[in-house]
Structure 1
Amino acid sequence: MCKKIHRGGNAEQYHADKKYKEAVAVAVEACAEDVKGQTCYICTQALHWKTKEGLVRMCACRGTAGFAHVTCLAEQAKILVAEAEENNLGYKVSFERWGRWSGCSLCEQNYHGVVAGALGWACWKTYAGRPDRNWVRGTAMNVLGSGLSSARHDEDALTVREALLSMMRRFGASEEDVLVVQGNLACSYNRLGRREEALRIERDVYSGWLKLNGEENGMTLAAANNYADSLLRLQRFADALWLWRKTIPVARRVLGEGNETTLTMRCNYAQALLNQSSTLADLREAVTTLEDARRIARRVLGGAHPRTVEIERSLQTAVDASTLKTQMVAREAVMAAAIADMRVYKAEIAANEAQIAANEAAIRALEMSPPGDA
């Protein structure tokens, strides 16, 4: 064991290598049914020539597109990032190339689930040997945290994100980088049920991005969605709805209808409409919103994508709630009409009784009056 650790460089590197292999095995197993008869679009083989690993996908590609080995995806990302670093290609190019550690180059959507988790470990094992002060190490930790979160390893994601935030504060990272990590940390808190802590951070992160970039910015809009989602989780429906009504039109204009942040905002907004005090109009708006979001999500992300699945599930809930509310309103209308008819009937009875009483009184009066002349 000590020799293996020594060959790996150190305990941290050995741990990263081990977790990577485990994550790849899990990802390959999860994709096994989907990849039958396919080959890697990078190396064109079904099994990787060296690792003998199988294929994965879990992006938004459909048909025969997008199948690959995690090892091939990682090697591609590693080469692209190295070129940007060695040739000083600038922040924009470097940022785009770092995106290959988490996103598919074909459909241009992020990987999700256990494939994102495997790529997170691939990224971390590649750069774990960098010094703490090196920005590449921090970026790799961020990719790892996001991958772990996508794979639903929430405790591990929290540990990574807390360590990253501590490191960034220790070495004086930029405000933008700190806001990114704080936002991710709040997502981990929410996943683990630490709602109030998440809300406080999300509020500060949204305020921070708003001051730095204004409201017409992707980071600001993502932070607004996360903040509103935290409000929703605490059942502060009115506050959440207000914020989404303010920011969703901006997201649709700035990011586009097919952007995943826009779709997420609209789905969350519709979910917020499904609360105890919802009117029939609220429920119908939720159904309309989700029907439109589902159409777009199917086109952009595909039917199997987690975001599309979530929208489908929310739509079914909204339809059921709307149907139930419609039936309740109809029953209430029938009952109200019946009560109104009953009141009319009672009024008619009372009027008849009054007329009868008047007639009886008149008869008694006639009977009591003195007889007239014969």
Structure 2
Amino acid sequence: MPRASRPWSPTRCADDTKGQTCFICTQALHWKSKEGLVRMCACRGTAGFAHVSCLAEQAKILVAEGEENNLGAKARTERWHRWDECSLCKQRYDGVVRCALSWGCWKTYVGRPETDEARRLAMSLLGNGLFDAEHYEEALSVRETELSMLHRIKAPEYNILCAQGNLAISYEWVDRNDEALRIRRDLYAGRLKQNGEEHKDTLIEANNLANLLFHLDRFEEVKSLSRKTMPVARRVLGEGHGLTLRILLSYGRVLYRDPDASPDDLREAVTTLEETERIARRVFGGAHSLTKAIERHLQNARAALRVHETLSPKG
């Protein structure tokens, strides 16, 4: 397992924390660690500021209460989400905050047996947190270890599929694309067969496959897959869901990045990304990484369209 001396930095999250207090302990500085405040979710105004230590302690207590009181699966799942989801806006934490919480989660449950559910979930959360904070090699190490463990303890097929999907993402980000593409195609086909096209897990695999195909310059395959999944995501998840926005981003991006893009492709790219950026800004705010990514691609699409219009002869 990888080690990190300091997987997050409070200074990276402190731009808008001046004069605010933690919504959990109501203090500006943590009483013990003296750490500052963070907020990397979709909360607005004065809501959502907290200390990572307070967020971790809150999650730890809620999960422990659920275990001690033998709550049902739904209640336990809701409590577990405090490790990576804001209790106020219900959006997943982003970047270094998610990474920091994932380390806190892993440290809390690492001493339990491999077959313990909390330990297995903590390992998965750690891999995701490291990846979200761009520690790609460390995330790969965790995810390979996780998949090996799941096979060893004969975990349910669903858990193994999820781990394979995460591993494929890590392979892609360390340029092991042949391994990633093989897993991605198998996973998407398997999800379609097992769950059907409207299941969220199927849509996730479709988007992951589209992203990998894009990076391998297989643009026509991306367009075909995106056109199939966009209306399904809008219908099933809603236009403001993060996954729907990512699928729309994938489509808008490939339209303007394709070297053979037509004028109509470029205009459609701009229109798609403008709509997607407006929705993302309304749902997540302008500081969220997804909103920023959409905005960046929108600027690139507009620039590509301007170049075409400048070079094209006047009619």
Distance 2:193 2:176 in 1: 26
Are residue 292 (structure 1) and residue 278 (structure 2) matched?
no
What secondary structure sits across from 1:58 in the alignment? Answer: coil
Aligned to 2:9, the other structure's residue is in SS state: helix
Tell me the amino acid that sits aligned with residue 65 of structure 2: E
Verify: 1:323 aligned to 2:306, yes or no.
Answer: yes
The aligned counterpart of 1:342 is: none
Partner AA of 1:161 in structure 2: R
Deviation at 1:199, TM superposition (A): 1.2
- Asked if the contact 1:116–1:147 (Cα under 8 Å) also holds between the matched residues in 2, the reply is yes
Asked whether 1:98 is paired with 2:85, we answer no
Structure having greater relative contact order (Cα 8 Å, sep ≥ 6): 2
Match of 1:87 among 69, 73, 76: 69
* 1:219 CA drift (Å): 1.1
Tell me the amino acid that sits aligned with residue 241 of structure 1.
K
User: AA paired with 1:311?
Assistant: I
Corresponding residue of 2:156: 174
Which residue is 2:37 aligned to?
55
Corresponding residue for 1:311? 294
| Conserved? CA contact 1:195–1:233, under 8 Å | no
Match of residue 15, structure 2, among 25, 30, 33: 33
Q: What is the correspondence of 1:351-362 to structure 2 with a 5 Å cutoff?
A: none
Mapped pair 1:195 → 2:177: yes
**1:158 and 2:150 equivalent?**
no
Alignment of 1:101-180 (within 5 A): 101-180=83-162
Identity percentage over the alignment? Answer: 58
Q: CA separation in 1, counterparts of 2:228 and 2:69? A: 43
**TM-score, L = length of structure 2:** 0.96
Q: Deviations over 1:268-311 (max 9, x none)?
A: 11111121000011111110000000100000000010000000
Partner deviation per Cα, 1:122-146 (whole Å, 9 max, x = no partner): 1000101111121211100011111
Picking from 161, 165, 178, the partner of 1:183 is: 165
Partner AA of 1:307 in structure 2: L
For residue 189 of structure 2, the aligned residue among 207, 211, 225 is 207
Does 1:268 pair with 2:256? Answer: no
Is it true that 1:218 corresponds to 2:197 in the alignment? no
Tell me how far apart the structure 1 counterparts of residues 84 and 101 of structure 2 sit (CA, whole Å). 7
Aligned CA distance change for structure 1 residues 206 and 97 (closer, same or farther; 3 Å): farther
Does residue 256 (structure 1) correspond to residue 235 (structure 2)? The answer is no
Higher helix share: 1
Segment drifting more, 244-253 vs 203-212: 203-212
Report the equivalent of 1:46: 28
What is the match of residue 238 of structure 1? 220
Q: Which moved more, 1:84-93 or 1:220-229?
A: 84-93
- Aligned residues: CA RMSD: 1.5
Distance 1:178 1:266 in 2: 28
Aligned residues, how many? 314
What corresponds to 1:22 in structure 2?
A: 6
Q: Does the residue aligned with 1:22 lie in a helix, a strand or coil? A: coil
Alpha-carbon offset, residue 178 of structure 1 = 0.8
Label 1:141 to 1:83 Cα distance change in 2 as closer, same or farther (>3 A): same
| Unpaired runs of at least 5, structure 1 | 1-11, 334-374
Tell me the secondary structure at the aligned position of residue 125 of structure 1.
Answer: helix
Amino acid in structure 2 at the alignment position of 1:226: N
Deviation at 1:212, TM superposition (A): 2.2
- Please give the alpha-carbon distance, in whole angstroms, between the structure 1 residues aligned to 2:267 and 2:72: 48
Alpha-carbon distance in structure 2 between the residues aligned to 1:61 and 1:236: 37
Q: Secondary structure at the match of 2:190?
A: helix
Paired letter, 1:215: E
Indicate if the aligned counterparts of 1:206 and 1:220 stay in contact, CA closer than 8 A. Answer: yes
> Take 1:33 and 1:247, find their aligned partners in 2: how far apart are those partners?
37
Structure 1: how far apart are the matches of 2:60 and 2:24? 14
Question: What letter matches 2:177 in structure 1?
Answer: R
